[in-house]
Amino acid sequence: MRGNPERPAAARIGRRGLLAAAGVGVLAVSAVRSRAFAADTTIRWLHLEINPKILKIWNDAAAEYMSSHPGMQVKLQFLENEAFKAKLPTLLQSPDAPSMFYSWGGGVMRAQADTGALRPIGAQMDKAWQSRLNPAALEAFRYADKIWGAPHQMAVMDIYYNKSMFQKAGVDGEKIKTWDDLLDAVTKLKAAGITPIAVGGGDKWPIMHWWAYLVVRAGGKDALAKATAGKGGGFVSAAFIDAGRSMKQLADLKPFQEGYLAATFPSMLGQFGDGRAAMVLSFSGTYQRQAAAAADGKGLAHDNVGLFAFPAVKGGKGQPTDTMGGINGWLVSRNAPPQTTDFLNLVTDVKYQTQTAATGIYLPAVPAANDAIADPLLKQAADELARSTYHQNYFDQDLGPDVGRVVNDQTTALVGGTATPEQVAKQIQEAWDLNR
């Protein structure tokens, strides 16, 4: 070493040390990896649930499955709603794709199925499993003659109202049957100094649902199906324009809370729960949600909250008993372990569905579990669903991610006063054509 002054000994040792360290590192990594491969099969369960009561039920189901199936691992993975929608396409194509994940059915599921990201599960679904599920819910996961997922929860959208505020303004919530009744109620509430309606204009879809329900009421059950098939004028047909005009009528009364264009869905529920607005159009389970979103964590007293079905419109083709809401289920990805379907059977078992119903948060997808619903508001929603003459999936989910977002943007612009009912209809039609 001394004979080579250009290369200090320390440098050589350093380089050798580096190589040695790298070698050890490689060995260590491969050791860890091979151990991971040799061990358990893992079912990765991607969800977007934040309610601890529901998560407890799911964790119990996972624990039960793991204890009865040694060598199996079930891992719950969480993504926030918006992040979930943004990351899923990439995730599904990676080796770390979730085995089963949350779905609203509709256009997004169809797009996923078309590209081969999913694995149909119908063949493994035995009679007992199929027959215990709500037929409409199961139907929502049928596409191209295959069943792609198992439904686990359902929702109906209703208008929830604050009874004491209604009383103060001299409005009877149970008597609101038509759109004019609703406009009248809004006027009275405003006169009494009460903010009539809270919406989440920042998230846009809470506003869209008002318009979508108006479309269902005006055009009836085949309004959306006809528009997507390009029949009867598509999205620029009378039902869509009329819905836009009715929506404009409501918006012109300035019924929404201050700053509604920046409000999110949770802050909309917070407004309702804090007693700052009299009405919200929201999902079944809203009572639990408003409590969680309220500033004090409790929100309104249970007997202070009522609900009524979305009002009918004059001359509309839709039935007042037509409902709009969601059907959620679990889809299985292409490379999921074969046991995933087996586990899904357990998750949608009567036992866990009954526990879900008892939380008062979701309507179960297994009708046998309906008896466990203790919350009278949820019971009312369950009855509506049972009597439903037609159940419409959320527009933005049914139309797929692209047109769905255009619908959200345009209806919010309509309420914000930057678009007319005709422009809204035209923009949606253009977006739809572009996607063909």
Partner 1 sequence: MSGLALAPDRAAGPGRRPSGFARRVRDAGPVLVLFLPPALVLFTALVVVPIGEAGWYSFFDWSGYGVPTHFVGWRNFELISRYPAFRIALGNNLLIIVVSLCVQLPMALGLATLVASRIRGALTFRMIFFLPYVLADVAAGLIWRFMFDGDYGLAAGIAHALGVAPPYVLADPDWAIYAILLVIVWKYFGFHMMLFIAGLQGIDAALYDAASIDGANRRQRFRRITLPLLAPTIRLSVFFSVIGSLQLFDMIMPLTKGGPADSTQTLVTFLYSFGIMRMRVGFGSAVGVVLFAICVIFAFSYKRLAMRDA
State the residues that interact with partner 1 by CB under 8 A: 4, 7, 15-16, 18-19, 82, 85-86, 89-90, 92-93, 108, 111-112, 114-117, 201-202, 204, 258-263, 267, 271, 276, 295, 400-402, 405, 409, 412-413, 416, 418, 434
Nearer to partner 1, 89 or 232 (CB): 89
Residue 31 in tokens? 């050791």
Nearer to partner 1, 319 or 423 (CB): 423
Please tell me what DSSP assigns to residue 317.
Answer: S
CB of residue 416 to partner 1, shortest distance in Å:
6
For 314, list phi and psi in degrees, rounded to 5: -60, 130
CB of residue 245 to partner 1, shortest distance in Å:
20
CB of residue 111 to partner 1, shortest distance in Å:
6
Nearer to partner 1, 12 or 314 (CB): 12
C-beta contacts of 427-436 below 8 A and 24+ residues apart? 428/235, 428/240, 428/403, 429/234, 429/235, 429/236, 431/402, 431/403, 431/406, 432/227, 432/228, 432/234, 432/235, 432/399, 432/403, 435/400, 435/402, 435/403
CB of residue 339 to partner 1, shortest distance in Å:
25
Q: How many other C-beta atoms can be found within 10 angstroms of the C-beta atom of residue 114? A: 11
CB of residue 249 to partner 1, shortest distance in Å:
20
Distance CA 116, CA 309 (A): 39
Nearer to partner 1, 7 or 302 (CB): 7
State the alpha helices, DSSP H only, in 127-204.
127-132, 135-139, 163-169, 179-191
Nearer to partner 1, 22 or 36 (CB): 22
CB of residue 93 to partner 1, shortest distance in Å:
7
Assess contact for 343 and 349: CB atoms under 8 A. no
If we measure between CA atoms, which residue out of 268, 262, 217, 263 comes closest to residue 244?
217
Nearer to partner 1, 87 or 221 (CB): 87
Distance CA 318, CA 243 (A): 12
CB of residue 212 to partner 1, shortest distance in Å:
18
Nearer to partner 1, 256 or 362 (CB): 256
CB of residue 87 to partner 1, shortest distance in Å:
9
Residue found by looking up tokens 């039960």 in the block: 64
Which residues, other chains included, contact 319 with Cβ-Cβ below 8 Å and sequence gap of 6+? Answer: 220, 221, 389, 390
The dihedral formed by the CA atoms of 227, 108, 342 and 75, expressed in degrees to the nearest 10: -150
CB of residue 182 to partner 1, shortest distance in Å:
24
Q: How many other C-beta atoms can be found within 10 angstroms of the C-beta atom of residue 253? A: 14
CB of residue 410 to partner 1, shortest distance in Å:
11
Tell me how far CA of residue 39 lies from CA of 28, 36, 71, 337, in angstroms: 17, 5, 7, 14
Distance CA 195, CA 216 (A): 26
Distance CA 287, CA 301 (A): 9
Nearer to partner 1, 353 or 408 (CB): 408
Nearer to partner 1, 108 or 176 (CB): 108
Please tell me what DSSP assigns to residue 158.
Answer: E
CB of residue 2 to partner 1, shortest distance in Å:
14
Q: Residue 253, SS3?
A: coil
Nearer to partner 1, 93 or 335 (CB): 93
Nearer to partner 1, 195 or 393 (CB): 195
Q: Tell me the CA end-to-end span of the chain in Å, nearest whole number.
A: 74
